[in-house]
Amino acid sequence: MSTQNDVKLMMVVVGCIVIASVNARTYYIAPDGRDSNNGSISQPFATLQKGHDVAGPGDTVFVRGGTYKGWSVRITKSGRSATERICFWAYPGEKPYLDCSSGGWGISVTGSWVHVKGIEINQGSITIDEAHDNILELMDCHHVNGIGICVIHGTGGHLILNCDAHDNFDAISKDSPGENADGFGVHYQRSGKPDTIRGCRAWWNSDDGYDFINHEVPITIENSWAMGAGYIHYGTGQAGNGNGFKIGSSKTGIRHIVKNCIAWKNRASGFYANHSSGGNTWYNNTSFQNGTQFNMLASTWSEPNGKGTRTDGVKLTGDKRHIMRNNVGYPNKNSYIDGYGVDTKFNAWDLGITPSASDFRSITDPSLTVTGKPLEEVSPMFGPRKADGSLPDVDFLMLAPGSALIDKGTDVELPFTGDAPDLGADEFGNVTRVFGALSNRPGRIAVTAVSEMFTVFSGYTAGAGLVEKSNSAKPDCGVYSISGRRYPSAAPTLPSAGIYIRR
């Protein structure tokens, strides 16, 4: 009886999925469209606001390439779930350009379960306010009189993926010019789910690259870059605070996580704790030629919840300490670490390693010297992204063969190859992508340029399988789990099912 009921339930669930898929609608926006059209690809709407007004959960609104003038779009509708979002996407292979130079503020999102993707906004921002579970992907917001990409209030769960925010400067500010124009700002959430920032770039923002001030829910920021904070007008002037990653301040002691990030040429600090009363976790970051590389300034308040008198430069203790592992500062110029209760181990300065040019494939990039022109025109770091939207492949600050920073770290549960993790944001020889799908056949191998990754199913033995299936001419120097644990190739059986790397 239970089996029959399970089958009926499955049929109902599948039927619902099919119905949802069939009922999902697609609309189109184009520069030569009309809002009186029906929104089809041949009769597109003219504005994103019209697309929003007719769309519902599960629908997709494609924005065709070209220039749009002066939009002030309010996205107030919500999807239902992660599988029934309302999507506002650039049409594949095309780049919509929203020009707010003569009016309009950009895009405001107060709905939830929304996905906005692939739109460039000049002199306008995208802001999420009082919402949850949204995705911003491949957005490019620049020359804003304020924060480029901003998330405030709400209950979190947002993902900011592969976005750029740059050349933002608030000439008129309630504080002083430049002090309220960050690349990315995430603020004022008091409860709910954590947010994630991944694969993003911030450059030449007058205040800070990334700023989490007054945010009391954890944020994870990973694999992101910050350059030139505190500089304006394409690097020809100065304003604002000038921190690459300003990771604080929390007044209730919550812990943010910063990993695999790079900061360079920021006027103040590359990585800054900004008075946080609770420590953050800093794993495998690289800081180069900033005013200060890592600044772990902590503060406490005389009354609960950040009220009363603030005391700066305090020593954090217990589970409130900053945790720093596998980081590189070049040169080693840090603040508020030694003697301030920071749990610092296996960083370049702890190990007595003085980084040098020979440790990296390159320490030169036009962003270090060029001013007066857009960096996206001259710097590989800010040039086109890869086809999947991820950061470009570059040599700048990537580890060189034989670097003194290779295999000097400790396991922090990030993928690594070799006998131990490397120091800094780049793992030398690490597998970052599998070219080709892995099948469900034991031993099927997908070959990359530096190693081989393969899936092992229960009971699969390593020895003969690797020899028979591998087409690599490299000597068999070992097998590693995805977390970096090494197993000798002579081992008869890998310990469990999973993904392994042969290197």
Burial class of residue 51 (count of CB atoms within 10 Å of its CB; 0-12, 13-18, 19+): buried
SS3 of 380, please? Answer: helix
* pLDDT of res. 484: 55
pLDDT digits (tens, 9 = 90+) for 9-52: 334 333 433 334 458 999 999 999 999 999 999 999 999 999 99
Q: Which two tokens stand for residue 10?
A: 């499955």
* pLDDT of res. 173: 75
End-to-end CA distance of the chain: 52
Whether 447 has a pLDDT exceeding 80, the answer reads no
* pLDDT of res. 443: 32
Q: What is the pTM of this model?
A: 0.84
How far apart CA 145 and CA 169 sit, in angstroms, is 5
pLDDT digits (tens, 9 = 90+) for 108-167: 999 999 999 999 999 999 999 999 999 999 999 999 999 999 999 999 999 999 999 999
Region of 277 on the Ramachandran plot (φ > 0 left; ψ -120 to 50 alpha; else beta): alpha
Whether 312 has a pLDDT exceeding 80, the answer reads yes
Whether 338 has a pLDDT exceeding 70, the answer reads yes
Mean pLDDT of 352-375: 97
User: Residue 121: beta bridge partners?
Assistant: 98, 141
Least confident among 55-64, 341-350, 431-440: 431-440
Whether 444 has a pLDDT exceeding 60, the answer reads no
Mean pLDDT of 51-56: 98
